[in-house]
């Protein structure tokens, strides 16, 4: 089902169509807007992402065309805030446009607020099964994350106390800010499962060290596999995070815990990340269409701000 929006401001006189997708459990409300006529308000995003009274999702993705790319991914966290990039979400976008015949290309360029991303679609019988995303270069300078302190300094392998618990931490940007926290070397994935991620993650996200706040990854490495739980800025704990997977792999490689490629186990499933010799990070994983539907007129009109056209 596809959204067809009028050019007038009759936002509540149409039944707005949407699709629900997920990438390794990281889920999204997808809105097709190829004519670029819809601007989701914070109220719309909050209501759509509500897991009791809305569709339920970690974010909203508006799919539009772009002059300088094949498509533009207009991404919003479930808090209603715009976000720079989403590695799981961009794979869902690729599956959406490929499976529906909006494009027949197996390689796409998608513009995001973090810049252009190149995608390669692996398909079987005309259906996208996995998508590889060129996630770009990691950035370590504090000014690029951003993080307070010496603008050209780095925060790699530093001790960090969080709510009376000690971690080793590395901060970097994958187009958005990340702080990767390593549990002690002798701790196992079972310990990771017991962490109070909401309490710890929120504490790190809101540290004054990160003026734009930060995403937070909690990491244990066992037998070459990286086990991760993630606290996403603006969404809370999610089942997986694509940019977080990239940040975790890079931090693990820098610390010697893994090589430059590894599987990452999230609560929502497995992602594969490779930090290649050209300094670019590549993320590979699945995307799944869950269901399609439409927002009711009365529900749309009940929103305080509504959906602005």
Q: CA-based angle 78:274:286, to the nearest 5?
A: 50
Helices vs. strands in the chain: H and E counts, helices first:
6, 17
pLDDT of residue 1: 33
Contact 9, 303 (CB under 8 A): no
Return residue ranges of the chain for CATH 3.10.310.10: 11-119+288-302, 142-279
Find the mean pLDDT for residues 34-55.
94
pLDDT of residue 303: 82
pLDDT of residue 309: 38
pLDDT of residue 142: 98
Find the mean pLDDT for residues 129-140.
97
Contact 190, 232 (CB under 8 A): no
- The torsion angles phi and psi of 115, rounded to 5 degrees, stand at 115, -175
Q: Evaluate if residue 307 carries a pLDDT over 50.
A: no
Contact 261, 274 (CB under 8 A): yes
Sign of the Cα pseudo-torsion (18, 19, 20, 26, in order): negative
pLDDT of residue 302: 85
**Sorting pLDDT into bands at 50, 70 and 90, what band is 3?**
very low
Q: Evaluate if residue 6 carries a pLDDT over 60.
A: no
pLDDT digits (tens, 9 = 90+) for 173-217: 999 999 999 999 888 888 899 999 999 999 999 999 999 999 999
pLDDT of residue 299: 87
Architecture label for domain 11-119+288-302: Roll (3.10)
pLDDT of residue 304: 52
pLDDT of residue 14: 53
Q: Please give the Cα distance from 21 to 160 (Å, whole number).
A: 36
- Distance between alpha carbon 118 and the CA centroid of its chain, in Å? 16
* Backbone conformation region of residue 104, classed left if phi is above 0, alpha if psi is from -120 to 50, else beta: alpha
Find the mean pLDDT for residues 280-304.
91
Q: Evaluate if residue 2 carries a pLDDT over 70.
A: no
Q: Which residues are catalytic?
A: 86, 241
Find the mean pLDDT for residues 39-63.
96
Which has more confidence, 307 or 69? 69
pLDDT of residue 185: 81
pLDDT of residue 306: 46
Mean pLDDT (the chain) is 92
- As a dihedral over the C-alpha atoms of residue 60, residue 57, residue 203, residue 255, rounded to 10 degrees, the angle is -80
Find the mean pLDDT for residues 53-72.
96
Give the domain 142-279 fold: Diaminopimelate Epimerase; Chain A, domain 1 (3.10.310)
| CA nearest neighbour of 251 among 127, 165, 154 | 154
- Comparing 105-109, 129-133, 227-231, 305-309, which segment has the lowest mean pLDDT? 305-309
Sign of the Cα pseudo-torsion (91, 94, 95, 96, in order): positive
**Sorting pLDDT into bands at 50, 70 and 90, what band is 109?**
very high
């Amino acid at each position: 089902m596809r959204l067809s929006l009028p050019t007038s401001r009759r936002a509540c006189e149409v039944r707005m169509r949407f699709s629900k997708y997920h990438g390794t459990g990281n889920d999204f409300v997808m809105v097709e807007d190829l004519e670029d006529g819809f601007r989701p308000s914070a109220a719309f995003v909050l209501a759509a992402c509500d897991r009791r009274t809305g569709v339920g999702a970690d974010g909203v993705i508006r799919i539009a065309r772009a002059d300088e790319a094949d498509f533009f991914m207009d991404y919003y966290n479930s808090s209603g805030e715009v976000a720079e990039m989403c590695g799981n979400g961009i794979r869902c976008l690729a599956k959406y446009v490929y499976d529906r015949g909006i494009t027949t290309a197996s390689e796409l360029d998608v513009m995001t607020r973090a810049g252009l991303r190149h995608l390669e679609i692996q398909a079987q019988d005309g259906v996208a099964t996995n998508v590889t995303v060129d996630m770009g270069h990691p950035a370590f300078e504090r000014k690029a994350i951003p993080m307070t302190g010496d603008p050209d300094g780095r925060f790699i392998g530093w001790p960090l106390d969080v709510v009376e618990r000690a971690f080793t931490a590395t901060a970097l940007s994958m187009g958005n800010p990340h702080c990767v926290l390593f549990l002690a070397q002798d701790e196992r994935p079972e310990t990771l499962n017991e962490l109070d991620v909401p309490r710890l993650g929120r504490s790190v996200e809101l540290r004054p060290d990160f003026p734009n706040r930060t995403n937070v990854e909690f990491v244990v490495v066992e037998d070459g596999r990286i086990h991760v739980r993630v606290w996403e800025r603006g969404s809370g704990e999610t089942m997986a995070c694509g940019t977080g997977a990239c940040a975790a792999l890079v931090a693990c490689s820098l610390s010697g815990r893994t090589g430059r490629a590894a599987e990452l186990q999230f609560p929502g499933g497995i992602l594969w990340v490779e930090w290649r010799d050209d300094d670019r990070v590549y993320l590979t994983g699945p995307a799944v269409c869950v269901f399609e539907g439409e927002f009711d007129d009365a529900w749309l009109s009940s929103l305080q701000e509504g959906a602005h056209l």
